[in-house]
Amino acid sequence: MSRKRIAVLLSGRGSNLAALLRNELGGDIVLVGSNKADAKGLDIAREAGIETFSLSHKSFASREAFDAALVEQLNQARVDLVVLAGFMRILTPVFTNAFAGRLINIHPSLLPSYPGLDTHERALADGVKLAGCTVHFVTSELDSGPIIAQAAVNVDDQDTPDSLAAKVLVQEHQIFPFAVKLFCEDRLQIEGKRVFTRPATAHV
């Protein structure tokens, strides 16, 4: 089994990229891209010696044109897996179809609860006692593809959106590398909305 070539797309600080880089994934992050040229995550990639690119959505006439250019960049790098790590763009089917079954996102809620933005504020306002994060395959429907892994945290009386985000982020950094590794080891099988994890093959 050859090692997977992984691209990471991000728009911000890149703590999840850093977590991926700290772990053995069974694959190699060969490219990191952003829609924001000043994303801190790009600096993390450069420091790790990884090729980077930025592509401003503002230079494209439509979402589809931007997505097509993104697909082109990633295809040139012959990537097997695209990982969205805080990539703040809604993707069209031009992108999600091009990487169907090999496109993974991390979302800071226990999906299907709280898709979209401001998840921690909304969870606190609803008074939930458990919050968390989800790694899932991406489909054209926002934050709703087959779930690979989740982790939960307790919501305490003193929690604020910021403190809850910080607690959830610790868990994100655990489950994201775990899920990417399962993908790289060809252990994930999608059946409808469910993702089954095959046992590890024994190495002799």
Q: Draw the binding track, 53-92, toward ligand GRF (x: CB under 6 A; -: no contact).
A: --------------------------------xx------
CA dihedral 167, 168, 174, 177 (to 10 degrees): -140
List the one residue from 27, 33, 108, 132 that touches ligand GRF (CB under 6 A): 108
Which of the ranges 13-21, 52-60, 121-129, 149-157 carries the binding residues for ligand GRF, by CB under 6 A? 13-21
DSSP letter for 25, please.
Answer: -
Cβ count within 10 A of residue 38: 9
Active-site choice (107, 120, 136, 173): 107
Residue 125: exposed, middle, or buried by beta-carbon count in 10 A (0-12, 13-18, 19+)? exposed
Q: Does 36 contact ligand GRF by CB under 6 A?
A: no
Q: Does 13 contact ligand GRF by CB under 6 A?
A: yes
Active site residue 173: no
List the one residue from 12, 26, 101, 115 that touches ligand GRF (CB under 6 A): 12
119-126 helix and 161-184 helix, angle to the nearest 10 degrees: 120
Residue 198 is encoded by which pair of tokens?
């095959």
Q: Does 41 contact ligand GRF by CB under 6 A?
A: yes
Provide the pairing of β-strand 147-154 with 188-191. Answer: unpaired
DSSP letter for 1, please.
Answer: -
Provide the annotated active-site residues.
Answer: 107
What residues make contact with ligand GRF under the rule CB under 6 A? 10, 12-16, 41, 85-86, 106-108, 133, 169, 172
